[in-house]
Amino acid sequence: MNYGGIGSVIGHELTHGFDDQGRQFDKDGNLRQWWDDSVIEKFKEKSQCLIDQYSKFYEPVSGLNVNGINTQGENIADNGGVKQSYMAYRKWVEQRGSEEPTLPGLNFTNNQLFFINWAQVWCDNTRKQSFINLITTGVHSPERFRVIGSLQNFQNFADEFGCRKNSVMNPETKCSVW
């Protein structure tokens, strides 16, 4: 659960160094193109997938759709972060030599608990005006779409929860920048 929560948040922050803004700065923090043009082209192609995906999310309280362009950097960070932390968790289990015991009283695997805590990080309650403010001026997607968007793209999530192919949480098109 710690890997799913704070671990994914740490992964999120690291990924910012390689999002649409972070990628433009070199290791010394100077604004400098240090990628080949072909790499930048590929990056933009992959980012566009996320832009299209998140732009389709409709937030019913405000009646607005998410702005996939304004939120792309945060979405890149969310998608990369949760994946990195999941890989780190699996690596940790591998080094440990066996799966951890499961939590008593809950009928979840440890991998499922990883994802459940990633989702719980973003539990919130938001008023209409706040949604409007967030969606029209913010760089973060509304919390529920930070969860849905990042996990729709993550095959391990669908596998762990047995999501049917082409269902909402296991779409055929999966976006992946990192």
Residue 82 interacts with Zn ion (CB under 5 A)? Answer: no
Select from 77, 135, 147, 158 the one that contacts Zn ion (CB under 5 A).
Answer: 77
Determine whether 100 is an active site residue. Answer: no
Would residue 13 show up in a list of annotated catalytic residues for this protein?
yes
Q: Are 50 and 68 in contact (CB under 8 A)?
A: yes
Among 19, 20, 59, 78, which one carries the catalytic annotation?
78
Binding window for Zn ion (CB under 5 A); candidates: 70-78, 83-91, 101-109, 122-130: 70-78
Cβ closest to Zn ion, residue 73 vs residue 113: 73
> What residues act catalytically?
13, 78
Interface contacts to Zn ion, rule CB under 5 A = 74, 77
